[in-house]
Structure 1
């Protein structure tokens, strides 16, 4: 077993030396993403890296959200939901989602189908991957200073669920302009 691990390590060392031009930029991108997105609350370098399937974009340019947000815009915000039971580490983490509902919009729920202003926006799953029950968001009007946000993946944890809820405008870090 030890010999096999040693052979594997030698192989990867030789591979990285042979194709350094490929692996060096990848290592730099990972280091930048981990140091800026997950640690620094106000990133000095405005590049945003999305490693989750919640949106189809992987890299974006982070800009301050000075003007009012519009439906369809991509944003990064600090999570402040009630997930203590199944995801305690999520509190305060930056999340990358799309604005689907603005203040004054009406949220309705039919079964597990969530709609904003009568337009279906997504189906809420009944359970997390770990088996915790998920309640859908309560129907009603989005109050001033809050947003309904959602990822494009059916597995995204977003405003469809009570545990995530609506996003307060003061938790928005900025707008995202997708690069690729």
Structure 2
């Protein structure tokens, strides 16, 4: 019986190689960003120019410039209920103590412009207000994607991301 299995495995090695690859990717927690690069409503899950990354779920401390994956929460859940279980992949642009200011619709963190807040969503035309001026409190982060349609901390409805919502720090591969 065992001999038959090994004979079968030797002949069909390519099938077992695929299974081994899938198991390995699951074991090392590889994250795939399969978000289309053309935005539909918002480029919600991804909005960063990477398609594969390793997620460190046990990261100690989050710093400005880190890529993070976090669970969506906040007042926007009422408007976009389907996003509740959607993980977001963004870059940390502001940490506790940083000052967020808004002039018109231009958003700044510590005086550096980080983006322009749109007036409404692209498809459903839901009005969007920019985040209010604030000093980021402890255990909160200002996160942002690189796309103009990224749904991130530029908008009051999404706001700052609490540390409890961050699932891990992401190490982009490509």
Both structures adopt the same fold (TM-score exceeding 0.5): yes
Q: Alpha-carbon deviation of 1:66?
A: 3.0
How many residues are paired up? 144
Residues 106-127 of structure 1 show CA distances to partners (whole Å, capped at 9, x for unaligned) of 0000000000000000000000
Alpha-carbon distance change, 70 to 79 in structure 1, aligned in 2, over 3 angstroms: same
Within the alignment, does 1:49 sit opposite 2:32 as a pair?
yes
User: Structure 1 pair 163/44, CA: closer, same or farther in 2 (3 Å)?
Assistant: farther
1:157 to 147, 151, 160: 151
Q: Which runs of 4+ in 1 moved over 4 A?
A: none
Name stretches of at least 5 consecutive residues in structure 2 with no aligned partner. 1-13, 38-46
Mapping of 1:162-173 within 5 angstroms?
162-173=156-167
Could you say what the CA RMSD is over the residues aligned between the two structures, in angstroms?
2.2
Give the Å deviation of 1:137: 0.5
Normalising by structure 1, we get a TM-score of 0.73
Q: Which runs of 5+ in 1 are unaligned?
A: 1-20, 37-42
Aligned to 1:95: 88
Alignment of 1:11-160 (within 5 A): 45-52=28-35, 53=37, 54-84=47-77, 86-129=79-122, 130-160=124-154
Contact 1:79–1:92 (CA under 8 A) maintained in structure 2: yes
Note if contact 1:83-1:91 (Cα within 8 Å) is conserved in structure 2. Answer: no
User: In 2, distance between residues paired with 1:84 and 1:73?
Assistant: 25
User: Following TM superposition, by how much is the alpha carbon of 1:64 offset from its aligned partner in structure 2, in angstroms?
Assistant: 2.3
